[in-house]
Amino acid sequence: MLFDHPLPEVIDRAGLDQLVKLLQADGYTVVGPTERDGALVLDELAGGADLPDGIGVETGAGHYRLRERADGAVFNHSAGPQSWKQFVHPPRQRVDAPEPVRRLAFIGVRPCDLAALAILDGVLGAAPYPDDRYLARRDQIFVVAVNCVEPGNTCFCASTGTGPAAEWGYDLVLTEQEGEGGHRFLLGTGSVAGEEILDRLTHRTATGGEIREARRAVDDAAGSMGRSMPETDLRGLLNRARGSEHWEQVANRCLACANCTMVCPTCFCTTVEDATDLEGDNAERWQRWDSCFDPDFSYIHGGAVRKSVGSRYRQWMSHKLSTWHDQFGTSGCVGCGRCIAWCPAGIDITAEAAALAEKERTR
């Protein structure tokens, strides 16, 4: 972890720009958060100036708005609508032809999204049937993580054990600090590649006070999450709740729009489509993201298995929090809160889990 031995280093805001330039010089396409169309999106950066200085985010159930900050913080905002999944598991990809693999440097990866990448590794990159395209992309990625010191109202990673501190899975990790001593970033390494980049950066060793401040900020973030999962055996709870009337209560609000699965950093379901040109001389096979909220997703001969919205919501939530353990050995939820913020009906997965737990307790 960043605050353990060896002591972290410090770079300033100009050092962050230098980091972007060094990664580009090494042949990486640098991807990070940038402001566009009223949101913070993940896109290729021309330079460090494209990062969102002084922009914050307000989130709530069905609510996401940018706001101007009183300081110049770059990374002190909660996750936007996109996740890093799109770069390793693209929304649409041709599967019957080779594709070039780019070297990508992710800058600003939050601990919840680090955990999401690790979960995808276990789903798409693990034996016995690994996705070779996924592995080829994943192998070319340099990760600059950011410890979360200012969680959003919809964040709940502390209760899922996936944040707010980055523990592993990065090449470099930053903790942003403002105030006395100026705008700076404590920087730690997590790989040989990260150490090599650090050696080329203009930096100094962090002071004891800066390390204590960073540790305190991360600890405070853990205690100031806007949401939390109920402290119960969610895996067992969802398994026992299959016949609960609560699913139809959720269905009365759910639009089955699939926003929650599209913004989720771990949902991985796809479908395959064949396309031909008008003359029939050329055929292509494409894979695209799909969702268990689509009635056709469970279609077999004779019709769809899950016809009601309630059954489809139950499938999504039960898989995410319960049967994912049976398949992959972990939960499928990392507490990023995207599904809450980007649900147009304001449905909150933590509130629904708590409601199921309360129903079982009082039954």
- DSSP sequence for 73-117: -SS-S---S--THHHHS-SEEESSS------EEEEEE-HHHHHHH
Structural contact between residues 40 and 77, judged by C-beta atoms closer than 8 angstroms: yes
Supply φ then ψ for residue 94, to 5 degrees. -80, 135
The predicted model gives 281-290 an average pLDDT of 95
pLDDT of residue 337: 97
Neighbours of 168 (CB within 10 A): 12
- Residue 159 in tokens: 């209760």
Q: Are 23 and 197 in contact (CB under 8 A)?
A: yes
Which residue type sits at 4? D
pLDDT computed for residue 317 by the predictor: 98
DSSP 235-304: HHHHHHTTT-THHHHHHTT-----HHHHH-SS---EEEEEEE-TTSS-EEEEEEE--TTSGGGGEETTEE
| 28 and 104 Cβ atoms separated by less than 8 Å | yes
The tokens for 305 are 């298995």
Instruction: DSSP letter for 126, please.
Output: S
d(CA 168, CA 165): 9
213 within 8 A of 206, measured Cβ to Cβ: no
Longest pairwise C-alpha distance within the chain: 70
* Nearest C-alpha neighbor of 344 from the set 245, 235, 255: 255
Q: What is the mean pLDDT of residues 117-124?
A: 98
pLDDT class for 279, splitting at 50, 70, 90? confident
- Evaluate whether 76 touches 150 at the Cβ level (below 8 Å): yes
> Predicted confidence band at 6 (pLDDT cuts at 50, 70, 90)?
low
What pLDDT, in 10s, does the model give residues 77-94?
988 999 999 999 999 999
For residue range 22-72, what is the model confidence (pLDDT) as tens digits?
999 999 999 999 999 999 999 999 999 999 999 999 999 999 999 999 999
Instruction: Please report which confidence band the pLDDT of residue 103 belongs to, taking 50, 70 and 90 as the band edges.
Output: very high
Mean pLDDT along residues 177-191: 94
Q: What is the CA radius of gyration of the chain?
A: 21
- pLDDT score of 3 more than 80: no
The token pair that represents 64 in the structure block: 């996401």
Instruction: Work out the average pLDDT over 208-215.
Output: 96
Provide the residue type at 43 as one letter: D
The structure tokens listed for 200 are: 């080329």
**DSSP secondary structure letters along 199-246:** HHS--EEPPHHHHHHHHHHHHHHHT--S----SS-HHHHHHHTTT-TH
Task: Report the chain's mean pLDDT, rounded to a whole number.
Answer: 95
Distance CA 217, CA 148 (A): 9
pLDDT score at 7: 75
In this structure, of 198-207, 297-306, 332-341, the range with the lowest mean pLDDT score is 297-306
Query: How far lies 217's CA from each of 3, 64, 278, 324, in Å?
Result: 12, 24, 60, 32
Rounded average pLDDT over 173-197? 95
173 pairs with which residues across the strands? 145, 188
- Closest-CA residue to 6 (of 156, 129, 223, 173): 173
